[in-house]
Amino acid sequence: MQIGVVAPGRPIDEKVAAATSAFAALAFPTVDLSFHPQCFMEDGHFAGPDDVRAQAFLEYANDPQYDAIWFARGGYGSNRILDAVIPELGTIAANKMYVGYSDMGFLLGALYARRIGHPVHAPMPIEIGRKDNGVCIGRPLEWMVARDPRALEPGLDGRPSVAFNLSILTTMIGTPWLPDLTDHVLIIEDVSEPLYRIDRMLFEMANATQLKGVAGVRLGEIVDIQENDPPWGETPEAMIERWCADMGVPYLGRARVGHSADNHVVPFGVVAA
């Protein structure tokens, strides 16, 4: 299986590619990982200018040689190529998995909105750095290579599901990039925010006209919470229960999804049994 790696947001170091390839060669010998040279480019905040990142993504997505596209890492930027890439994806691109999370949620969401390919919320190559013997980045590989159900988030229940970083989800709200999530279980997670900002984003989620039809919300991890002055005094779970009540949708419990080594795979939509 050939997996093409591109970086629509920020760059990775060549060492990350080497370590991920070495791990994959041992643990997934049928996998051939190809890191696009664009992954290592640096242009200020980004892994190359917008047009270069867009072209790298289109090159791999539209190439029949690659069975799946794996995003190298998150970090702000994938939203800036949506206009350039989404209309240029052809029939080859329409049959692939697109795998990543965090900022890459912009692409996963836009692809899902247009019914292009199979977006998958899952760990990314940069997480080889977790020093967990590849347990974390092994999950997307298990899913891409063998649809191994052990890689899946254990609470997926047959209903269509999606997972998003809350900051990315709320940025898409009110734009044509947000997919129709009617009847979907919505899993959210976030990282490095103070709780007042989490609350403000949950307000937008709970009040969003486009999200009125979701089946329910599950809470992934909220990690590296930044200081709130004064202390917020409420857990993320209490917050989401409160906002789900406001939203009029059920809170469906925790999910093993987020910016941690426990991040599990959530294929967008219904997972075939």
> Which residue's CB is nearer to a copy of itself, number 147 or number 200?
200
d(CA 149, CA 262): 15
> Distance between CA 185 and CA 250 in Å, rounded?
10
CA 198, CA 239: separation in Å to the nearest integer? 9
Please say which residue, 82 or 156, places its beta carbon nearer to a copy of itself: 82
Residue with smaller CB distance to a copy of itself, 114 or 197: 197
Shortest CB 128 distance to a copy of itself, Å: 21
260 is an active site residue = no
Query: At its nearest, how many Å lie between a copy of itself and the CB of residue 249?
Result: 15
Total number of residues shown for the chain: 273
Rounded CA-CA distance 49/41 in Å is 9
d(CA 121, CA 258): 10
Q: List Cα–Cα distances, 99 to 216, 236, 265, in angstroms.
A: 23, 27, 9
Give the phi and the psi of residue 240 in degrees, each rounded to 5: -75, -30
CA–CA distance, 43 with 268 (Å, rounded to integer): 31
Report yes or no: 161 and 217 within 8 Å, Cβ to Cβ.
Answer: no
Catalytic residue among 153, 189, 193, 221: 189
Q: Please tell me what DSSP assigns to residue 222.
A: E
Which residue among 118, 121, 259, 264 is the active-site one? Answer: 259
Closest contact distance (angstroms) between CB of 161 and a copy of itself is 21
Torsion angles phi and psi, residue 272, rounded to 5: -60, 135
Complex with a copy of itself: residue 158 or 233, whichever CB lies closer:
233
Question: Which residue in 21, 102, 161, 167 is the catalytic one?
Answer: 102
| Binding residues vs a copy of itself (CB under 8 A) | 42, 44-45, 76, 79-80, 83, 167, 170-178, 196-197, 199-201, 203-204, 207-210, 228, 230-234, 246
Query: Catalytic: 237?
Result: no
State the minimum distance, in angstroms, from the CB of residue 110 to a copy of itself: 11
- Is 189 annotated as catalytic? yes
Of the pair 197, 254, the CB lying nearest a copy of itself is at 197
Q: How far is the CB of 200 from a copy of itself (least distance, A)?
A: 6
**Residues belonging to the active site:** 102, 189, 259
